[in-house]
Structure 1
């Protein structure tokens, strides 16, 4: 099964955000290359909100290019067999934490956001991942900083999309 096929199955099974979910599916049906950065109409990305073992804080990255506190995530790569694995790979690479585990329920949220040309949109499929006890985060090349934030601190540092992701993650736990 291709990553494109996996994304279609994941989105068909996702039971929330019906209008946005259908937009993602329509995009993938119209664009066989819709998983890849090269798709000018937009592409599917995968991300994960990293949660501490006590489920009291989240790890956010200060994105190098955007200068914003965000969850870990990014573009799918040819070696990614599934969206879940892409999200876990991105979270592991950007956090430096090995042993992350995705919440078993699958994606917790979808977020469509504009990006600069030549591409137009990121169609982000968002997961949540639990960090193992004793996890130590390490800043990657894609980040200016990494920091743990208590749930109630997130609205003060992050945009509405990250706040929504946190709210949906807390509901899914």
Structure 2
């Protein structure tokens, strides 16, 4: 097995699924890694890295509007060529999508959620699935947030406000796992 595959398996080594579905998703990710090329966008199931960005001092979370899915989601996305660490991917995507210069894993670098998310087809690609490895990233300068483009606005919300805005069950699940970390 190549070093690239070892990177994601290493990240997932200590991860403990919380549900039967998540256990199944973890086994599917391991299968994709063993089959090779788990990062390739051409694969019907490929690994992505995402994060819920938080501002610990205010207890708020940051959501990004996803135009294609018409939904408030986490930041994150696909690996760039040569990237094999889901946390590094989440950090890069977070910086690109929010402009926040100081993003860092919080309160640690642990995987908070693993979920396989269906992605509908569009004019550029067929339907496929993302094996989304999710983290929590924090910023100390929430006012520095800048959307990467006008079609992807960003919103700082309390967890209660976020629950009202989020329409995707898997994102609500991630929020429910992160919210206890924000309670002081």
TM-score over 0.5 for the pair: yes
Query: Is 1:138 aligned to residue 146 of structure 2?
Result: yes
**Alignment length (residue pairs):** 171
Q: TM-score, normalised by structure 1?
A: 0.89
Task: Kindly report the root-mean-square deviation, in angstroms, between the aligned alpha carbons of the 2 structures.
Answer: 2.0
Indicate whether 1:18 and 2:23 are aligned.
Answer: yes
Q: CA deviation at 1:166?
A: 1.1
How far residue 81 of structure 1 moved from its aligned partner, in angstroms, is 4.6
Q: Conserved in 1, the CA contact under 8 Å of 2:119 and 2:130?
A: yes
- TM-superposed deviation, 1:49: 0.5
Q: Distance in 2 between matches of 1:150 and 1:84?
A: 24
What is the aligned counterpart of 1:153 among 149, 161, 168? 161
Contact 2:5 2:84 in 1 (8 A): no
Q: 1:127 is paired with a residue of what secondary structure?
A: strand
135, 159, 162: which is aligned to 2:171? Answer: 162
**Which structure 2 residues correspond to residues 101-116 of structure 1 after superposition, within 5 A?**
101-103=104-106, 104-116=108-120
1:55/1:35 Cα in 2 relative to 1: closer, same or farther (>3 Å)?
A: farther
For residues 25 and 79 of structure 1, do their structure 2 counterparts lie closer, same or farther at Cα, with a shift above 3 Å needed?
A: same
Gaps of 5+ in 2: none
Aligned mate of 2:51, from 40, 48, 64? 48
1:64 and 2:73 matched: no
Unaligned runs of 5+ in 1: none
